[in-house]
Amino acid sequence: MTFHNSGVLIVGSGISGLSAALRLAEKNIYSTILSKRPSLDTSSAWAQGGVAAVMSDDDSFDQHLHDTEVASAGTIDRSIAMKVISNGPSVISWLNEMGVPFEKKSKGKFSLGREGGHSKRRIVHVKDATGRFIMEVLYRKAVESKYISFADELIVYELLTKDVSGSLELVGVKAYDRAHKKSLEIKCTHVCLATGGHAGLYRMATSPAKGSGLGLAIEAGCIVENLQYVQFHPTALYKKNGVLQLITEALRGEGALLRDLKGRSFMADYHELGELAPRDIVSRSIFEVMKKQETPYLYLDATHLSESELIQRFPNIYSICEASKINMTKKWMPITPAAHYTCGGIKIDEHGRTNVKGIFAIGECSSSGLHGANRLASNSLLESLVFAIFVTDQIESDSFYELSITEKHLKEVPLPMKKIEKIVIECQELMWRKVGIVRTNEGLEQALEKIQQMQDEVALIKDNFEEFIQINRLEQRLLVCKEIVRAARGCSKNLGTHFNLDN
């Protein structure tokens, strides 16, 4: 674990964090990436679809903007969206020049996929494992850079601020060093939160991320918005528990069909685009059929497609299914919707700044205005890559101070981990049942009441202990859950990913 004596702390080592660090390095600015896991073990590496960007002559920025706005139910910030979209080709070039092996045609042009909500083929991809290939290239470049250092096994659990003439400013962070069981207080002036989303707060989810960055930001006084907009991926490979592996939307883009237990293709009953309808509509349609047929899963059928093309285009999906003893070329895949992407988050401006001076946010933990009530497929990696430019341009114009680190060894006291884990599981089940794909006023009120009971229970646990990371993080998760419920309860109109039967 090493720290530069000046520069920026980046919390999170996915595509957002690595992109920001590399963009800073291009400006000769030092950064240290703090992460709780090795840098390649992130949700970014699981992103299958690709990066949405205008790369063909029959496409345009205006068309990409239109599709983005339609998917969001008209709730995006158009100026932000256009700024992001218009930077799409340049970030693809940036990645291409670094060596990301994007799929290309014989003449060197990009092979473009199409996903739900897109009117054109504009998904730049590497087979069906785009996130992993981008991560590998960015990580290798970051390791090679003298301007970037890594501090793995560090869990940031508090952002330290001070009040300056009525405004909050960052002064440092507290982090727990898992390897050496000690707390670090790091004095700094710039932190970039790149911690991912909070889909893991739900029982059925494609990511383990449980809103750590969002919880930190809320406690530090950052404004959050649009937390009611949680996107559920329509097709995760079904299993009874654990993080589910998603089946990329690109498979439906190539012609795979959704079928009910009787084998009937049903999506044409719900939307004119069928399988390519926006994700929220597909997820609710599946949910409704599941409820009618009293089943925890339905099917995705790709057996009518070319076996050789399926294996060549979707080797990752083929391997995932094979590990579950499913040959996707001959057998239907059992699928369920699962919490996947969080459209809202820490409110940022066009430079990635929050309302607390010195705290920036980028990627899924943020709310930039690009997604509104519903994210258009593959706009997420685009946002991360482009906002890395915006954030680092702003940071370049700021002043820096030296970092200083104070260490504090923590006592090893046995915590009631079974009780803590029980609360985590109960909360995930509660969020899935009451704050999920379809909501009701009564369900939201019940969720709020139950979360308050959990918070009271955690407060009693905390009274018996001092500064312990597990308790801090559980408090933050419950705080995020409460804010999601409050946002959903206060939303009187069904838009995008928010659907309340009582509206």
| Single-letter amino acid code for the residue at 309 | E
Task: Give yes or no for residue 411 having a pLDDT over 70.
Answer: no
Q: CA-to-CA distance for 407 and 181, rounded, in angstroms?
A: 10
The whole-number average pLDDT for the span 279-308 is 93
Q: What is the reported pLDDT for 417?
A: 78
Task: Give yes or no for residue 321 having a pLDDT over 60.
Answer: yes
The whole-number average pLDDT for the span 315-334 is 93
How crowded is residue 331: how many other Cβ atoms within 10 Å of its Cβ? 14
Q: What is the reported pLDDT for 418?
A: 85
Q: What is the reported pLDDT for 43?
A: 65
Active-site annotation holds for 203: no
Residue 421, SS3 per DSSP: helix
Sorting pLDDT into bands at 50, 70 and 90, what band is 315?
confident
Task: Give yes or no for residue 51 having a pLDDT over 90.
Answer: yes
Find out whether 374 and 496 touch, Cβ atoms under 8 Å. Answer: yes
Catalytic residue among 114, 132, 203, 279: 279
Q: In the chain, what are the domain boundaries?
A: 8-154+343-407, 237-339, 415-489
Q: CA-to-CA distance for 319 and 311, rounded, in angstroms?
A: 9
Q: What is the reported pLDDT for 436?
A: 95
Q: What is the reported pLDDT for 42?
A: 66
Angle, helices 15-26/379-396, rounded to nearest 10 degrees: 40
Q: Of residues 250 and 455, which shows the higher confidence score? A: 455
The whole-number average pLDDT for the span 24-40 is 86
Beta bridge partners of 198: none
Q: Kindly report the backbone phi and psi dihedral angles of residue 100, in degrees, each rounded to the nearest multiple of 5, phi listed first.
A: -65, 125
With CA atoms as reference, report the closest residue to 257 among 285, 280, 291, 231. 285
Q: What is the reported pLDDT for 415?
A: 67
**The CATH fold of domain 237-339:** Flavocytochrome C3; Chain A, domain 1 (3.90.700)
With CA atoms as reference, report the closest residue to 202 among 329, 111, 338, 307. 338
Q: Which of 221-225, 320-324, 397-401 has the highest mean pLDDT?
A: 221-225
The whole-number average pLDDT for the span 194-221 is 94
Tell me which of 4-18, 392-406, 409-423, 453-467 is least confident: 409-423
28, with CB counted inside 10 A (0-12, 13-18, 19+), is: exposed
For the stretch 338-360, pLDDT in tens is: 999 999 999 999 999 999 999 99
Bridge-based pairing state of the strands 333-342 and 366-367: unpaired
Q: CA-to-CA distance for 97 and 92, rounded, in angstroms?
A: 9
Task: Give yes or no for residue 193 having a pLDDT over 90.
Answer: yes
Q: Of residues 248 and 220, which shows the higher confidence score? A: 220
Q: Mean pLDDT across the chain, nearest whole number?
A: 91
Token match 């309808």: residue?
277
Task: Give yes or no for residue 406 having a pLDDT over 80.
Answer: no
Task: Give yes or no for residue 401 having a pLDDT over 70.
Answer: no
Positive or negative CA dihedral for 155, 157, 161, 167?
Answer: positive
240, with CB counted inside 10 A (0-12, 13-18, 19+), is: exposed
Q: What is the reported pLDDT for 234?
A: 92
Q: What is the reported pLDDT for 135?
A: 93
* CATH code at 8-154+343-407: 3.50.50.60
* CATH code at 415-489: 1.20.58.100
Tokens, residue 397: 């114009």
Bridge-based pairing state of the strands 167-177 and 182-187: antiparallel
Residues 6+ apart with CB under 8 A from 455: 475, 478, 479, 482
Distance from the first to the final alpha carbon of the chain? 51
pLDDT > 90 fraction of the chain, expressed in percent and rounded = 75
Sorting pLDDT into bands at 50, 70 and 90, what band is 412?
low
Q: Cα separations (Å) of 430 from 24, 425, 436, 449, 486?
A: 41, 9, 9, 11, 14
Residues 6+ apart with CB under 8 A from 262: 293
Q: What is the reported pLDDT for 400?
A: 65
Task: Give yes or no for residue 466 having a pLDDT over 60.
Answer: no
Bridge-based pairing state of the strands 359-361 and 298-301: unpaired
Question: CB-side exposure of 274: number of CA atoms within 13 Å?
Answer: 12
Sorting pLDDT into bands at 50, 70 and 90, what band is 464?
low
Q: What is the reported pLDDT for 502?
A: 96
Cα dihedral 473, 476, 482, 485 in deg (nearest 10): -80
CA angle 145, 146, 150 (to 5 degrees): 80
367-382 burial by CB neighbour count: b if 16+ within 10 A, else e? bbbbbbbbbbbbbbbb
For the stretch 86-107, pLDDT in tens is: 999 999 999 999 999 999 987 7
8-154+343-407 and 237-339 have identical folds: no
Find out whether 126 and 50 touch, Cβ atoms under 8 Å. Answer: yes
pLDDT > 70 fraction of the chain, expressed in percent and rounded = 94
With CA atoms as reference, report the closest residue to 448 among 434, 465, 463. 434
Find out whether 228 and 212 touch, Cβ atoms under 8 Å. Answer: no
Residue 25, SS3 per DSSP: helix
With CA atoms as reference, report the closest residue to 490 among 279, 232, 231, 229. 229
| Single-letter amino acid code for the residue at 9 | L
